[in-house]
A and B are shown apart, each in its own frame.
Chain A
Amino acid sequence: MDLEFQDIRKSFGPKTVLDGVSFHARSGEALGLLGRNGAGKTTSIRILMGVFPADGGRVLLDGAPIDYGGVSMGYLPEERGLYPKKKIGEQLVYFARLNGMTKSGAAKAVDRWLERLGMAEYRDKRLDTLSKGNQQKIQLITALAHDPDIIILDEPFSGLDPVNAMLLKDVVKEELDRGKTVLFSSHQMSYIEEFCHSIAILRDGRIVLSGALHDIKRDYPRDKLVIRSEQADAIAAAFPDGCVRRASGELLLRLPSPEAKGETMKALAERFDLDELRVFEPSLNDIFVEYAGDQEQGGEKA
């Protein structure tokens, strides 16, 4: 299954929320949809799920316009919430049936998932008697019980303790192994790096960076050096422009071009006493801050 967003546009009144968003997700792979608050992630997800139509562009499934009757989707919204006063089993079956399951099929699936997440004992409890983390697990079941082809998880890890986070990771990996398409939105970059084959970074309704994560990292310009040295102040004085001291105490030196790398490294090693010198490899966090953040050098790189 091949899910593609093609040049999707959407505005609410005078406000343009999505301005030509395109990305691509495949079966068995997770796509990380990243962006700061208000970048257009939720709007993209709602258009994907057919809550409202896009003003322009197309959503394609295996190359053809998506048919909402024929594909099933599971959604874990960022704003969690179910019926607080109703019994857990009842409302899970209700949501599974809304997503097209039969009564008995829904009951079976709900039981299986409650068992899988260790929540079977809460089946007949009211939702508001549960802790926040457990409510979150219940909410996860609403996204998965009807065995959807496309799973959309918006900030799935927020509010989970490490043990539950591990459980969720296992569940997501299982679904990926079963060939599901997973759309992942999170601000916790470590989880994205762990799961996502590819990412798409949204900023002000535009995709500023997208592609396979390892390609992005590989193609990231290798024009920064990380230096650890007792003589950090002297080095900073020697390179007045492009030298930044990081919180860890290391210096980050931006070079005029990646080609200047060898020469500069040699010069540094000759002039100063260095403990460590290496080419800067960005983490996803660094990439995110650079592309989605407000710094001047952000946007133009794309």
Chain B
Amino acid sequence: MKQFGVILRFELAGYLKNKIFVGVTVFLVLALGLLLFFPRVSALFKDGDDEAADEDRPVMLLDAGGEDEAALLEAFSAAFPDYEVRAGDAARIEAQIADGTAECAFALEGLGSYTYYVDDLSMYDMNTEIADQVLGQMYRLAAMTAEGLAPDQAADILSFRAEHTVEALGADQGQNFFYTYIMIFALYMVILLYGQMVANGVATEKSSRAMELLITSAKPVSMMFGKVIAACLAGLFQLVCVFGAALLFYRLNRAAWGDNMLMGALFDMPPALLGYMLLYFVLGFFLYAFLFGAVGSTATKLEDINTSVMPIMLVFIVGFIVVVFAMSSGTVNSALMRVCSYVPFTSPMAMFTRIAMSTVPWYEIALSALILAASVVGVGVLSARIYRVGVLLYGASPKLRDILRALRRRSLG
């Protein structure tokens, strides 16, 4: 136990003193700070620039084509707040757009028909849809007043809109998609990165022959657990730094962000979800880190690692893809996802997604967590055994068969 503590501290110090580790963490925190303080900082520079911005608006020309020009200009100005709408002459419109004095133009032939001129038609250009609405509205207004309705009455009727509110009783997928996605991605990155680091750490000790001394000084189980737990703590530390900084910066700037939909969707997550994230991160991390450690112990050279960890990575990546696909297609409770949320190798991501994006009964969560925890113990014991045998095998990377044979021998003897 004392040895385990010494190893854990040594390995953890190795991460925390690593310049890349520190650099990446600081960079991420700074980048988040920059992003989240942006509206507040840009607001500082905005004062007094508003009028200038007004003049910078692109010009939209409008040829009324014999209709009531003043009313049309007013209606278009209201409908296109991003444009400066001016009266134009259909004959000169093309030239004005070509020389850049105007960005686009509407040439009306009555309320029922018009030509829209624009230099490059953007994929996202919605101006004709807006114009259709404005003109339709004006046509209906004109028609209703012609039938003898007072203009106010007609306007009231036209502006009628049914009011509605949405009350999501379970989870609101539109709301929680973004933070779930980010959390799943963080889970994926951290497990993959730190798992690889565990494998590399073990293989480095072996290839540098530090292992020769280590195995005579420390118990293999202490070594394995010390390494895996140190990597887990380092990963957790990084996650807490990054997520903590993001939350803190957002809180500080909540007013400046106002009711920005995206930011709200990102940060308004239920606190319980953070608890679930911690649970599934820790369990999922241990499961994979043990495997990575065991694989690392069987490699003789560092170069062998990349091919040896391939099967583990493949399982993990497939799990990630299944989850992300289910998320984006809104089918987080499909049969496949249900199965995945009990299989220990995919459940950290699959079950977490289901919890975040739908309503999962507590017993399903408990069962999935229990299976995962039991697998962690099983894989941990198995990995420690492989590790004990693996670290002493030199020469060509041993085949799976050799390891199994050595394991069997060990358990008999």
B-binding residues in A (CB < 8 A): 12-13, 46, 49, 51-53, 55, 73, 75, 77, 79-84, 86, 94-95, 97-100, 139, 142
User: Does chain A have a CB within 8 A of B3?
Assistant: yes
Among the stretches B178-186, B207-215, B322-330, B331-339, the one at the interface with A is: B207-215
User: Does chain A have a CB within 8 A of B92?
Assistant: no
A75-B217, A98-B214, A99-B217 given. 11 additional CB < 8 A pairs? A46-B392, A49-B216, A77-B209, A80-B209, A80-B212, A81-B210, A81-B211, A81-B213, A82-B208, A82-B210, A97-B6
Q: Known interface pairs A51-B392, A53-B413, A55-B413. Does A95 touch B208 (Cβ–Cβ under 8 Å)?
A: no
Q: Are A73 and B409 in contact (CB under 8 A)?
A: no
Contact flags B208-233 to A (C-beta < 8 A → 1, else 0): 11111111111000000000000000
Contacts of A12 in B (CB 8 A): 409
Q: Are B10 and A51 in contact (CB under 8 A)?
A: no
User: Does chain A have a CB within 8 A of B244?
Assistant: no
Q: Known interface pairs A46-B216, A51-B215, A73-B216. Does A98 touch B209 (Cβ–Cβ under 8 Å)?
A: no
A145 to chain B, nearest CB (A): 11
Q: Are B212 and A13 in contact (CB under 8 A)?
A: no
User: Does chain A have a CB within 8 A of B7?
Assistant: yes
Report, nearest first, the 7 A-B pairs whose CB atoms are least far apart.
A81-B209, A77-B212, A98-B217, A79-B209, A81-B208, A49-B216, A97-B6
User: Would you list 28 pairs from A and B whose C-beta atoms are within 8 A, ordered by A residue?
Assistant: A12-B409, A13-B405, A13-B406, A46-B216, A49-B216, A51-B215, A52-B392, A53-B413, A75-B216, A75-B217, A77-B209, A77-B212, A80-B209, A80-B212, A81-B209, A81-B212, A82-B208, A82-B213, A83-B204, A83-B210, A84-B208, A86-B14, A94-B6, A95-B213, A97-B6, A98-B217, A98-B218, A99-B217
Residue of B10, B213, B413 touching A77 (CB-CB under 8 A): B213
| Assembled-state Cα–Cα distance A83/B212 (Å) | 12
Q: What total of chain B residues lie within 8 Å of the partner, measured CB to CB? A: 24
| Assembled-state Cα–Cα distance A12/B6 (Å) | 32
Contacts of B3 in A (CB 8 A): 98
A-binding residues in B (CB < 8 A): 2-3, 6-7, 10, 14, 204-205, 208-218, 392, 405-406, 409, 413
A149 to chain B, nearest CB (A): 14
Contacts of A99 in B (CB 8 A): 217
B7 to chain A, nearest CB (A): 7
Contacts of B413 in A (CB 8 A): 53, 55
Q: Are A142 and B208 in contact (CB under 8 A)?
A: no
Name the residue in B7, B211, B213, B406 with the highest tally of chain A Cβ atoms < 10 Å from its Cβ.
B213
| Assembled-state Cα–Cα distance A53/B411 (Å) | 12
Contacts of B209 in A (CB 8 A): 77, 79-81
Q: Are A94 and B10 in contact (CB under 8 A)?
A: yes
| Assembled-state Cα–Cα distance A225/B10 (Å) | 62
Closest to A10 in B: B413
Closest to A42 in B: B212
Contacts of B216 in A (CB 8 A): 46, 49, 51, 73, 75, 77
Name the residue in B6, B7, B209, B409 with the highest tally of chain A Cβ atoms < 10 Å from its Cβ.
B6
Q: Are B212 and A98 in contact (CB under 8 A)?
A: no
| Assembled-state Cα–Cα distance A100/B218 (Å) | 10
B395 to chain A, nearest CB (A): 13
Q: Are A95 and B392 in contact (CB under 8 A)?
A: no
| Assembled-state Cα–Cα distance A46/B215 (Å) | 9
Contacts of B6 in A (CB 8 A): 94, 97-98
Contacts of A46 in B (CB 8 A): 216, 392
A40 to chain B, nearest CB (A): 15
| Assembled-state Cα–Cα distance A94/B7 (Å) | 8
Q: Are B212 and A95 in contact (CB under 8 A)?
A: no
| Assembled-state Cα–Cα distance A86/B382 (Å) | 30
A211 to chain B, nearest CB (A): 28
| Assembled-state Cα–Cα distance A77/B206 (Å) | 13
Contacts of A53 in B (CB 8 A): 413
Contacts of B211 in A (CB 8 A): 81
| Assembled-state Cα–Cα distance A98/B406 (Å) | 27
| Assembled-state Cα–Cα distance A53/B405 (Å) | 17
Contacts of A86 in B (CB 8 A): 14
| Assembled-state Cα–Cα distance A99/B2 (Å) | 10
Contacts of A95 in B (CB 8 A): 213, 217
Closest to B18 in A: A85
| Assembled-state Cα–Cα distance A46/B6 (Å) | 23
Contacts of B204 in A (CB 8 A): 83
Q: Are A75 and B208 in contact (CB under 8 A)?
A: no
| Assembled-state Cα–Cα distance A81/B208 (Å) | 5
Contacts of A82 in B (CB 8 A): 208, 210, 213
A199 to chain B, nearest CB (A): 23
| Assembled-state Cα–Cα distance A128/B373 (Å) | 41
Contacts of B409 in A (CB 8 A): 12-13
| Assembled-state Cα–Cα distance A27/B10 (Å) | 34
| Assembled-state Cα–Cα distance A102/B240 (Å) | 32
B320 to chain A, nearest CB (A): 31
Closest to B388 in A: A52
| Assembled-state Cα–Cα distance A142/B212 (Å) | 12
Contacts of B208 in A (CB 8 A): 81-84
Closest to B413 in A: A55
B398 to chain A, nearest CB (A): 12
Contacts of A84 in B (CB 8 A): 208
A3 to chain B, nearest CB (A): 16
A153 to chain B, nearest CB (A): 13
| Assembled-state Cα–Cα distance A291/B138 (Å) | 114
| Assembled-state Cα–Cα distance A259/B318 (Å) | 83
| Assembled-state Cα–Cα distance A73/B93 (Å) | 95
| Assembled-state Cα–Cα distance A95/B7 (Å) | 10
| Assembled-state Cα–Cα distance A81/B214 (Å) | 10
Name the residue in B205, B211, B413 with the highest tally of chain A Cβ atoms < 10 Å from its Cβ.
B413
| Assembled-state Cα–Cα distance A59/B173 (Å) | 67
Closest to B10 in A: A94
Residue of A51, A55, A98, A100 touching B7 (CB-CB under 8 A): A98
B266 to chain A, nearest CB (A): 38
A231 to chain B, nearest CB (A): 54
Contacts of A73 in B (CB 8 A): 216
| Assembled-state Cα–Cα distance A1/B86 (Å) | 106
